[in-house]
Amino acid sequence: MASDHAIVVDGVPDALADAALAAAIADVRRIEAKYSRYRDDSVTAAVNRGAGGAPVAIDAETAALLAYADQCHRLSGGRFDVTSGVLRRAWDFRRSPPRLPDGATLTGLCALVGWQEVEWNERSVRLPRSGMEIDFGGIGKEYAADRAAAILAERGVRHALVNLGGDVRALGGQADGTPWRVGVRHPRAMEAGTAIASVEIADGAVATSGDYERYIEVDGCRYCHLLDPRTGWPVRAWQSISVVAPLAVVAGSVATIAMLLADDAPDFLASQGLPWLGVDAAGEVRGTLGK
Amino acid sequence: MASAAAAVAATDRTAPRVRALLAAALALPGIVPAPAAAQTMPDAGFIQFKYLDYRDWQPGARRMRVENPGFYVMSPFAEAWVVEGALVYDGMSGASPMWHDTLSGASGEGIHDRRAAGDVKLTRYFDGFSVGAGVAYSHENDYISRGGSVDLRVWTADKNTTYTFSYAGAADRIDTPDGAANHERKYVNDFLVGVTQALSQTAIVQSNLTYTRGHGYFDDPYKTFDSRPDNRRVLAWLTRLNRHFPDHHGTLQLAYRYIDDSWDANSHMVEAAWVQPLPHAFSVRPNLRYYTQRAAYFYFDPPFPTGLVFGQPYTADTRLSAFGAFTLGLLLAKDFGGGWSGDLKVEYYRQKSDWRAGGNGSPDILPFSARWIQVGVGKTF
């Protein structure tokens, strides 16, 4: 979650706002530390260290996140898979000059992907093969945004906007009665803030999944961090998809699933009944949100 | 531009699949704010004007009419303070209720009165509790009341539980033009302890216990021979339960109150209401209330107070008789946007001796009816 975060509260006295913000920010940091795949002391690291060994005990919060990930896995026909992060070993998005992985490497790593093989219940989780990994990308940050909004609401804040790296959760509109206005950034805009659309939202969330967060370009082709767990190759049908939903965790996971479903994304999004906006590979803006 | 309504509407008409996803998301811990946080500081001011028109009648005769404009304002200020004030002006006219159906026509002299009342309250919010203090004043040509109150509210960190402790005192002075009451005084002290508990995401319960102790002049100076004890102790226990039904977007509100009265006019009250939001920012709230009480020990059935010992307390006030009563009401409210709201409330009340729970209502009293029509308009700022 090394991204830009901002929480805006409106219409509350400073003393109340400070206390509420402190509680919300503390919880965002807690979740970041607990599920970071970059920290040795995180739950994610503990589960991954246990791969191929004994079950690792988990708490109720982690079990709930896994249950949610399981729903996403089923809903996406297996494309949304919290064990697919292992494919990143073949894709070094920081390497210079960038290089494409060879087929044998990808095939080997694909064998380590498979949420359906993970043994889990409310108290423990076990990755069956050594080398398997899980991570909470596409869920964790969005879950943190929803929790931050809930914490603010519980502390008396009625108007707030929580933005965790572009995944936005709105609470109660602005204090003057107007909705929050959230810009959807253009996936190819170099300067931050160039919006292709703006969404007015009082209560709800907007999340975007895009190919611009981490990627490499080889021979003029962009290879992004969203990897199809069946092939190990990045998805390429969309530059970005934004989804509006009641909760950030739903908006975020539906946007990610839509990116992974490639050409099937419009049908999938229509079946979900959630407003969306996408920029396809040709740069054309599509979707049901106003353009 | 997509509107916020899109996100909400989407959840209503969606395929079962996204419902599954939402349901799974809602199972994540702490993702939805705790329900109806019982204690939060208001973050916006509110100003409201209300106008009440009240009439009551018995068969063949109109009784009281009250026209009552009221004004209320509440505003947060200086970060953690809230000030509230209300002004009300009553114009009353008519006759007080007839006590017996063998007397027809108006009972005694008509009443024409004007009452002006106001109160101001200041509350300071802290982390985890609030402290409030207020004063109240009410003036009629024969009755002046001065009062004060203090309250303390304490809530748990998750705000699922709030405890309330309050004290209110009033000192009244009664002087009637005819001299029936001359510099009479009455003092009333109210002590309240209450708890509000969120039971789940959709249900909240509140229970308050109020002990009221009064001493001084309780008589009705306009009723001949009316002579009441000079002290009264009342213990009232009120419990309310609100439960929201997401599938119907409505809320059920239930209430029960028991009153134990040292004058023996013990009573039970039960009420049920349903709040239903409607399209175009309308909402309706139908409610039905049943009330039953037994007679005060010094209430004597008309026309002759059989068994009354001279010098002992005595009243023929039908409000202290044994009866039952139903109230049927409907509130229609609309949010006009931009902070403006309006409401219209109509209530109809009917009281009969026969309706007392278990029977044994006071005999020979005509049914008594009343209706309220109240319009209000408010603005948040």
| A175 vs B21, B41, B44: nearest CB | B44
Binary contact (B2, A202; C-beta < 8 A):
no
* Closest CB to B25 among A158, A198, A249: A249
Query: Taking a C-beta distance cutoff of 8 angstroms, is the pair A87, A232 a contact?
Result: yes
Nearest CA in chain B to A272: B18
Query: Taking residues B233-260, what's their average pLDDT?
Result: 90
Instruction: For chain B, say whether A194 makes contact (Cβ under 8 Å).
Output: no
How far is residue B156's CA from residue B91's CA, in Å, rounded to a whole number? 44
Question: With a CB-CB cutoff of 8 Å, which residues 152-171 of chain A face chain B?
Answer: 153-159, 170
Flag whether pLDDT at B1 surpasses 60.
Answer: no
Within a domain: A217: yes
* Cα–Cα nearest to B295, from B269, B263, B325: B263
Round to whole Å and give the CA distance between B193 and B232: 19
pLDDT of residue B100: 35
- What does each C-alpha distance from A88 to A103, A133, A137, A235 come to in angstroms? 14, 11, 12, 13
In a domain, A107, yes or no: no
Best of A143, A154, A168, A285 to disrupt the B interface (most B CBs within 10 Å) is A154
Is 0.80 topped by the overall pTM?
no
What does the angle CA B139 – CA B234 – CA B85 come to, to the nearest 5 degrees? 35
**Residue B367 confidence (pLDDT) above 60:** yes
Contacts of A149 in chain B (CB under 8 A): 33
CB-CB neighbors (< 8 A) of A249 in chain B: 25, 28, 31
Q: Strand A159-164 and strand A5-10: pairing?
A: antiparallel
Angstrom CA distances, A52 to A70, A84, A119, B181, stand at 20, 16, 11, 92
Assigned domain for A53 exists = no
What gap in Å lies between CA A106 and CA A223, rounded to an integer?
14
Query: DSSP character for A55?
Result: P
Q: Which residues of B touch A77 (CB under 8 A)?
A: none
- B159–A273 CB contact, under 8 Å: no
Q: Which residue of A has its CA nearest to B158?
A: A154
| Confidence at residue B17, expressed as pLDDT on a 0 to 100 scale | 53
Contact B15 A273 (CB under 8 A): yes
Residue B374: what pLDDT? 93
Nearest by CB to residue B2, choosing from A64, A143, A244, is A244
- Per the structure, the complete domain to which residue A207 belongs is given by 158-283
Q: Find the closest chain B residue to A198 by CA distance.
A: B1
Q: How many angstroms separate the CA atoms of A273 and B380, rounded?
A: 34
Q: Which of B3, B18, B78 sits opposite A273 (nearest CB)?
A: B18
CB contact under 8 A, B80 and A15: yes
Q: Is A272 on the interface with B (CB under 8 A)?
A: yes
Does residue B247 belong to the interface with chain A, where contact is any CB pair within 8 Å? no
The CATH number for A245's domain is: 3.10.520.10
B157–A contact, CB cutoff 8 A: no
Mutating which of A201, A242, A288 best tests the B interface, going by the most B Cβ atoms within 10 A? A201
Task: Report the distance separating Cα A207 and Cα B370, nearest Å.
Answer: 56
Residue in B29, B40, B338 nearest the CB of A60: B29
Residues of chain B with Cβ-Cβ distance to A22 below 8 Å are none
Mean pLDDT within B152-167: 87
The pLDDT of residue A37 is 86
pLDDT for res B14: 40
Average pLDDT, chain B: 82
**Among A143, A179, A254, beta carbon nearest to B31:** A143
Low-confidence residues of chain A: pLDDT under 50: 1-2, 192, 291
Is residue A206 in some structural domain? yes
- Give pLDDT tens digits for A171-203: 988 888 888 988 887 777 655 457 778 888 888
Partners of B17 on chain A (C-beta within 8 Å) are: 75, 271-272
Q: Which of residues 20-79 of B touch A (CB under 8 A)?
A: 20-22, 24-34, 37, 40-41, 43-44, 76, 78-79
Residues in contact with B241: Cβ distance below 8 Å, sequence separation at least 6, in sequence order:
B203, B204, B205, B206, B253, B254, B255
A-chain residues near B43 (CB < 8 A) = 11-13, 156-159, 175
Q: Is B155 on the interface with A (CB under 8 A)?
A: no
- Which pLDDT value is given to residue A271? 83
Q: What is the pLDDT of residue B12?
A: 38
Residue B16's contacts (CB-CB under 8 Å, 6 or more residues apart) are: none
Among candidates A286, A272, A232, which has minimal Cα distance to A79?
A232
**Residue A150 is nearest to which of B18, B30, B78, comparing CB atoms?**
B30
Asked if the C-beta of A198 comes within 8 angstroms of chain B's C-beta atoms, the answer is: yes
Distances (CA, A) of B18 to A64, A166, B64: 17, 22, 58
> Could you tell me the residue ranges of all domains in chain B?
41-124
Subunit contact A143:B1, Cβ cutoff 8 A: no
Q: Is residue A240 part of a domain?
A: yes
The whole-angstrom distance between B144's CA and the closest CA on chain A is: 38
What is the pLDDT at residue A227?
82
B317 or A135: whose pLDDT is higher?
Answer: A135
Residue B106 pLDDT: 35
Count how many pairs of residues, chain A against chain B, have C-beta atoms within 8 Å.
149
pLDDT at B23: 72
pLDDT at site B304: 63
- Of the candidates A193, A169, A190, A178, the residue with the CA atom closest to the CA atom of residue A243: A169
In chain A, the number of structural domains is 1
**B207 token code pair:** 């229970």
Task: Decide if B43 and A175 are in contact by the 8 Å CB cutoff.
Answer: yes
Percent of chain B past pLDDT 70, that is, above it, reads 83
Select the residue of A27, A199, A273 nearest B2 (Cβ to Cβ): A199
Strands (E), chain A: 5-10, 56-57, 119-120, 124-126, 159-164, 167-171, 180-185, 195-201, 204-210, 215-218, 221-224, 238-245, 276-280, 285-287
Range of weakest confidence among A133-142, B89-98, B298-307, B328-337? B89-98
Task: Compare CB distances from A275 to B2, B34, B339 and report the shortest one's residue.
Answer: B2
DSSP strand pairing (B231-245 vs B250-261) = antiparallel
Asked if residue A3 belongs to a domain, the reply is: no
Q: Compute the residue count for chain B.
A: 381
DSSP designation for A71: H
Residue with structure tokens 């995944």? A167
Q: The complex's ipTM?
A: 0.74
For residue A276, being part of any structural domain is answered with yes
Which token pair is A167?
């995944």
